[in-house]
Structures are given as structure tokens and as C-alpha cells.
Amino acid sequence: MSNLIYNEIYKMIANRKLVIFLFLTIGILLLPAASLIIPELDIPFTGQDYAINMLSGTISMLLPLFIIVMLAEMFASEYEKGTLKNSLIQPVLRTEVLAAKVIAVGIITSVLLLVSMIFSYIIGTLLFGWGEGVLIGGETVSGINGVLITLASHLVSLIPLMAFAFVILAICVAASSGTTAIGVSIGVFFALTFLGQLVEQVRPYLITTHLSFYIQVIEPALRQNLLFTVVVLAAYAVAFLVLAVAMFKRKQIIL
């Protein structure tokens, strides 16, 4: 299993799309610098709160798109090119191959989250100064405690992102081409996002609503909804993982 995971991570690192997303991440982190050029924007950032303020945009748009592209590449594109069979030539189970690919996506996503946090601190401090602290629940938390809360926010964000990854996994396993997988996945992603904005009644049950899960974790006033959110994320993860495994076992792959 470890060799399978290593091979998948190696393929992802060698993939130019990963480099593109890395530069996109850094580019997005630089966007608030426009407030220095356009004073009318007046964006009140400091080095200490820059990372946690930028996290919402990263996990609600950029990383979901990264997950879509990577899973489409790993499953649908490899199936289309006939290279998916290379992983199955070894004496391994299909479930092990699927697990290795998902774990690799999780590891790389974690790295991108941490890289985003580190660059946010660097960019925020250089542009706006270190500042007094991070505002959490109406209180200013500074120093190492603020950094730990920011780190925890980035780490727990992996939970909804991986639940979302299982939804996309099922789509990519079912698709026969990378283009189809990406198109359908992006369509589903934006459809769920817009549906949540338009129909308040269904909003709590949509996975895209809970991508900012970290806010409920760090804000005491919102923790009463934490259990419900965990149940929703777990339901999506289990249902779509079971579906993906079932489809991958039955998928016709000529060795």
C-alpha cells in the first residue's frame, strides 16, 4: 500500500497541474495587496489574521477545483488513456488502488493547506505588519495561541474537503474520460453552491455549505451546530465512498 501511495504522490508532483494550482494559491493570497494600491478598498488585514481570513476563499473554491482536477486525472483520464491498468498489474486489490489514490489526494491537499497558511503569514506580515492578533469569538488572540488556532483551522478544513473528494471520486470513477469527469464535477459543485444560496431550506444538507467547517470549530457561538455538520459530512463521505468502491470493482479495465 505504501508503494502505491508513493507512486500516486510522485505522479501528482510530476503533474504540471499541481504546479499551476500552487501558483494560483499564491496568486490568490496576493489579491488583497490591491488595497495598498487602491486605498478606497480599505481592507483591514494584519499578518496574524491574514491566514485565517484567506482560508475561506481557499477551501470554498480553489481546493475543491484542485480535488476535481486531480481525481479526474487519476481515474477518468488514466482510464481513457489506458494507463489505469498499470496500477492493477501488480498483485493488489482494486480497493487498495482506489484507497492509495484518495490518500495521495488527501496528503497533497494537506500540503497545499499548510503552504497556503505559511505564505499567508509571510505575505500578510510583509504587506500589513504583524498586528495585534486574531479576532476569535469577539476576543483578540495573539502570539502562539493565535498561530495554533490558525493551524487548527487549516487542519480541520481537510475534513469537509475529503468528504467532498468522495463525492467527486464517485463521479470520476463512473466517467469514461477526463473531460467528462471534470465537466460533470464542476457542474455539480457550482449547482450545489448556487442551490445553497437560493434555497435556504436545503442549505444545511448540502456538502458545499459545510466547506467552511472550521468556523464552527473555532467560533464558540456556532458550536451548537457542530454535531449536525459532522453527521452531514459523514453521510456524504460514507455514501459516496461505498458507491465509488462498488463502481470501481465492477468497472471493466482491460489488463
pLDDT at residue 41 is higher than 60: no
Phi, psi of 254 (to 5 degrees): -80, 120
- What was the pLDDT predicted at 206? 97
Please state the domain count of the chain: 1
- 39: in domain: yes
- What was the pLDDT predicted at 43? 64
C-alpha cell, 109:
491537499
pLDDT digits (tens, 9 = 90+) for 115-152: 999 999 999 999 888 888 888 877 888 889 999 999 99
Residue 15: pLDDT band with limits 50, 70, 90: confident
DSSP 8-state class, residue 255:
-
108 CB contacts (<8 Å, ≥6 apart)?
9, 12, 13, 18, 70
Residue ranges making up the domain that contains 218: 2-250
Residue 39: pLDDT band with limits 50, 70, 90: low
Average pLDDT along the chain: 90
C-alpha cell, 222:
456556532
Contact 208, 193 (CB under 8 A): yes
pLDDT at residue 242 is higher than 70: yes
What average pLDDT does this structure show over 160-173? 98
pLDDT at residue 40 is higher than 60: no
pLDDT digits (tens, 9 = 90+) for 169-218: 999 999 999 999 999 999 999 999 999 999 999 999 999 999 999 999 99
Q: What is the share, in percent, of the chain residues with pLDDT greater than 70?
A: 95
Phi, psi of 204 (to 5 degrees): -65, -15
- What was the pLDDT predicted at 17? 82
- 232: in domain: yes
Q: Is 187 exposed, middle or buried (0-12, 13-18, 19+ CB in 10 A)?
A: exposed
Task: State the sign of the Cα–Cα–Cα–Cα dihedral 153, 29, 113, 59.
Answer: positive
Q: Is 245 exposed, middle or buried (0-12, 13-18, 19+ CB in 10 A)?
A: middle
- What was the pLDDT predicted at 141? 86
- 255: in domain: no
Amino acid making up residue 66: F
- 86: in domain: yes
- 76: in domain: yes
- 149: in domain: yes
The closest alpha carbon to 64, from 176, 175, 150, 188, belongs to 188
Q: What is the share, in percent, of the chain residues with pLDDT greater than 90?
A: 63
Contact 49, 149 (CB under 8 A): no
Strand partners, 134: 141
